Amino acid sequence: MQQIDNYNFAGKKAIVRVDFNVPLNDKFEVTDDTRIVEAMPTIKKILSDGGAAVLMSHLGRPKEGPEAKFSLKHVVSKVQSLLSGVNVKFVDDCIGDKVLQAKKDLKMGEVLILENLRFYKAEDKDKEAMPGFAKQLAEGVDVYVNDAFGTAHRAHASTAIIAQYVKNKMAGFLLEKEIKFLGDTVANPEKPFVAIVGGAKVSGKLEVLKSLTGKCDTILIGGGMAYTFYKALGYKIGNSLVEEELVDTAKQILEDAKAKGVNFMLPVDNLAADKFDNGADIMEVGTEIPDGRMALDIGAKTIKAYAAEIKGAKTVVWNGPMGCFEMPNFAKGTFGVCQAVADSSAISIIGGGDSVAAVNQSGLADKMSHISTGGGASLEFLEGKVLPGIAAVRD
Ligand code: AMP
């Protein structure tokens, strides 16, 4: 793959797929600019080489064509404030004559932001129209840079198809970092390699569990999915979350882990609540959840046992919370594991929306080696799938 670091953008116009899908308040101000800030290294590299950057992104989920509330014009002032002294322009479309003219008029050292890609169905929904749309996006530029990991698991016009119509293509710094950690580090992990897998359901993490069972030394299970494994082992689960149809699959995963010599750990104790509520009555129980109770967090002994495994690890991957961490009384497991990962000297990779939210809330983000910018994309990457957005810039 062409490395962005080794490419000289002098005199080139580069179209960059960024992820500017940022939250806005009711005044259409950006309330969290993390994604915009994270795109800056790639944009600044293009500009400092003496090139020009055309930025394209989606924002929100427009249903039928243009909707003012999803316009990318709302991010322009934020981008401008992060690029002081740079001329940041906006054009209220992403294809067509007006856009082509704006690309032509763009001078080296300038930035042009295009309108929301998803105002056109050809970006993500209308497969037949995708190539024509992608070709128009590619008009008037010399280079395509993909720096949007959050959509890299989708073969959309701007994330993958466009690469066929631009001669020079590459990953931006953000995408490169994701490939380095989620791809290279996980493919050749320093051992012991410990995976922490949590979240609501086994179904959402089935493929990742299968894939990690072949690679990890230890898998630590938490969250609602633990109780489907409990059921598979014949433990009482009370009213805890369970996926009956996956009990046999859970058995197979346990057998597979045993056969492969993986240390597959389940919670040894739990917080069992009488209802799904932060104010619920809480009982500390072992591996038998009493009737009428539901396990909503892992217990103190489990946190200690998991922390010990994490301490001895050289590589840690974490996806999914250990309990209902949105409720403070059931957040200790998730934050305990978070602290253990932060304290360990292992390479730590955090993927998935909820674990990333927990890490950010805990204030320990700067102690992690890598926090993935894509929920679904990071999961698919860990599952060992080829992501279209990465394959496109690799070919
Ligand atoms: P996922 O999207 O599959 O990663 O699941 C994340 C969600 O799982 C969070 O909203 C948690 O509140 C929820 N969760 C974690 N542990 C439990 C549990 N023991 N019972 C029910 N839901 C849980």
Q: Give residue 64's pLDDT.
A: 86
44 touches 141 (CB < 8 A): no
Over the chain, what is the mean pLDDT?
Answer: 96
Residue 342 one-letter amino acid: A
Per-residue pLDDT band for 164 (boundaries 50, 70, 90) equals very high
Q: What is the mean pLDDT of residues 93-98?
A: 98
The dihedral over CA atoms of 271, 277, 280, 285, expressed in degrees to the nearest 10, equals: -10
Task: Find all residues with CB under 8 Å of 217, minimum gap 6, and list them.
Answer: 191, 192, 193, 194, 262, 263
| DSSP H or E segment with residue 257 | helix 247-259
27 catalytic per annotation: no
The dihedral over CA atoms of 79, 83, 85, 91, expressed in degrees to the nearest 10, equals: -30
352 catalytic per annotation: no
Ligand 1 pocket residue status of 150, Cβ below 6 Å: no
Report which of 288, 274, 290, 269 is spatially closest to residue 333, judged by C-alpha positions: 269
Q: Is the backbone of residue 218 left (phi > 0), alpha (psi -120 to 50) or beta?
A: beta
Partnered with residue 197 across adjacent β-strands are 221, 319
Rounded to the nearest 10 degrees, the angle between the axes of helix 202-213 and helix 247-259 is 20
Count of all residues that appear for the chain in the document: 395
Give the integer Cα–Cα distance in Å for 96 and 108: 21
Give the distance (Å) from ligand 1 centre to CA of residue 272. 14
241, 318, 335, best to mutate for ligand 1 pocket (most atoms within 8 Å of CB):
241
Q: Do the strands 88-90 and 193-197 form a parallel or antiparallel pair, or are they unpaired?
A: unpaired
Give the distance (Å) from ligand 1 centre to CA of residue 379. 16
Q: Which two tokens stand for residue 151?
A: 């959509």
| 297-345 confidence digits (pLDDT tens) | 999 999 999 999 999 999 999 999 999 999 999 999 999 999 999 999 9
Atom 1 in ligand 1: residue holding the nearest Cα: 199
Q: Give residue 214's pLDDT.
A: 86
195 touches 217 (CB < 8 A): no
Ligand 1 pocket residue status of 354, Cβ below 6 Å: yes
Partnered with residue 54 across adjacent β-strands are 15, 112
- Cα angle 369, 374, 377 (rounded to 5 degrees) comes to 115
353 catalytic per annotation: yes
Give the integer Cα–Cα distance in Å for 316 and 215: 12
215 touches 186 (CB < 8 A): yes
Ligand 1 pocket residue status of 241, Cβ below 6 Å: yes
19 touches 158 (CB < 8 A): no
Chain centroid to CA 247: how far? 28
Q: What is the mean pLDDT of residues 194-218?
A: 93
Q: Do the strands 294-298 and 270-273 form a parallel or antiparallel pair, or are they unpaired?
A: antiparallel
Q: Give residue 395's pLDDT.
A: 65
Task: Find all residues with CB under 8 Å of 314, minimum gap 6, and list them.
Answer: 189, 190, 191, 192, 193, 346, 347
Write down all domains in the chain, each with its CATH number in brackets.
Answer: 4-175 (3.40.50.1260), 185-382 (3.40.50.1260)
Ligand 1 pocket residue status of 320, Cβ below 6 Å: yes
Q: What is the mean pLDDT of residues 204-220?
A: 93
Give the integer Cα–Cα distance in Å for 229 and 64: 43
Q: What are phi and psi of 177, to 5 degrees?
A: -65, -40
Give the distance (Å) from ligand 1 centre to CA of residue 131. 39
Q: Is the pLDDT of residue 14 over 80?
A: yes
Q: What is the mean pLDDT of residues 181-203?
A: 94
Q: Which ligand 1 atom sits closest to the C-alpha of 205?
A: 3
Ligand 1 pocket residue status of 296, Cβ below 6 Å: yes
| 50-75 confidence digits (pLDDT tens) | 999 999 999 999 998 999 999 999 99
376 catalytic per annotation: yes
Partnered with residue 318 across adjacent β-strands are 196, 350
pTM: 0.89
Neighbours of 290 (CB within 10 A): 15
243, 278, 324, 379, best to mutate for ligand 1 pocket (most atoms within 8 Å of CB):
324
Task: Find all residues with CB under 8 Å of 229, minimum gap 6, and list them.
Answer: 202, 221, 250, 253, 254, 266
What letter would DSSP give residue 183?
I
Residue 225 one-letter amino acid: M
Partnered with residue 219 across adjacent β-strands are 195, 264
Q: Which two tokens stand for residue 48?
A: 């400092």
266 touches 298 (CB < 8 A): no
Q: What is the mean pLDDT of residues 148-170?
A: 96
